[in-house]
Amino acid sequence: MASRLYQRGFKLVMDGDLDIVAVTMNVIFTRTSAHTFSQTHDFFDDLVSPVGESSGTNYTDGGQLLSDAVDTASAYDAADTVMTAVASGAALDSLHIYRELTSNALSPLLVYVDGFSIVPNGGDITIQWAATPNFIFKLAQD
């Protein structure tokens, strides 16, 4: 999977204005056919329909919460995320991690990941975050 940090979200983390471990972060699926990654996307309202957020029965609008987030040695990780009984639909091939606030226009984007394909079939979808030293993303080289 290819991971990219959104500049605005990264700046909030580096300035100490977004503690990605202490606050609740969400993850949503999107389709690269419906939108293209851009650093000009800075808040969640840049992604919502029709731009490409997934939808369907049992898909949680706005995404799923990340749990047990940790920041160790400049790497960010969380527990594997399960979206339960996601209805059949188009292939999902990208995801975004963001901080959900009171409105989509105030909810900063942090991470974009692509390079995978999942076809929902009515079953659970588990996002199995890497258990390697890079985890979801890493800010520094070893």
pLDDT in tens, 94-115: 888 888 888 889 999 988 888 8
Could you tell me the sign of the dihedral formed by the alpha carbons of 102, 105, 110, 114, in that order? positive
Confidence (pTM): 0.77
Cis preceding-peptide flag for 50 (omega within 30 of 0): yes
Q: Is residue 110 part of a domain?
A: yes
Q: Is residue 140 part of a domain?
A: no
Q: How far is CA 132 from CA 15, 43, 90, 135, 140, in A?
A: 27, 29, 30, 5, 14
Q: Is residue 95 part of a domain?
A: yes
Q: Is residue 116 part of a domain?
A: yes
Q: Is residue 97 part of a domain?
A: yes
Q: Quick one: pLDDT at residue 133? A: 64
Higher per-residue pLDDT: 133 or 107: 107
Say which amino acid occupies 40: T
6-56 pLDDT per residue, tens: 888 888 888 888 887 788 888 888 888 777 788 888 998 887 653 445 555
Q: Is residue 137 part of a domain?
A: no
Q: For residue 79, what are the domain limits?
A: 2-132
Domain count, the chain: 1
